[in-house]
Amino acid sequence: MMIATTQVTATHPDDIAVDLYAAAMKEKMAIGRAKGRGGWSNSMQFPVEDLQLLLADHVQKGNPVDVGVLSMMVWHRGGTTNAPGCLWTQHADESGAWASACGESWSFADGGPKENHVGYCHHCGRQVVAEQPD
Ligand SMILES: [Zn+2]
């Protein structure tokens, strides 16, 4: 592991820990920039929902520096750490099928996602938010 070049000038152990973590995040981001990554602060290029999904993904992957970087990005954009759900909308026709926001179509023999205890989307893995037509 490379040692970050950021100066750590704090004296309280909490501040030292935060500075070291920030230095690790800066190093990780510099590596990403060298690979051509960037644009996270541009809401047109990266909607906050995309950053939230990446954050949820990286929590599962397990690298706390990546989680810190993505948390920082979401924080700067005013978002929460909750990943947006996958909106399932029931077709208004007689098929009764449901369309997911991630582009899949689902049918149930009886009832909808709630009645069939579908909590997470089978396609994208996000929490299902069911919306029935009026
Ligand atoms: Zn989905």
pLDDT tens for the chain, 134 residues long, are 555 555 667 799 999 999 999 999 999 999 999 999 999 999 898 899 889 989 988 998 999 999 999 999 999 999 999 888 999 999 888 888 999 999 999 999 998 999 999 999 999 888 999 986 65
Dist CA 53 CA 57 (whole Å)? 6
Q: 24 alpha carbon to ligand 1 midpoint, in Å?
A: 33
Dist CA 87 CA 4 (whole Å)? 41
Q: 121 alpha carbon to ligand 1 midpoint, in Å?
A: 5
What residue ranges do the domains of the chain occupy? 13-76, 85-134
**8: which 2 tokens?**
């750590």
Q: 73 alpha carbon to ligand 1 midpoint, in Å?
A: 23
Residue 84 has a pLDDT of 85
Residue 92 has a pLDDT of 81
Query: What pTM value is reported for the model?
Result: 0.69
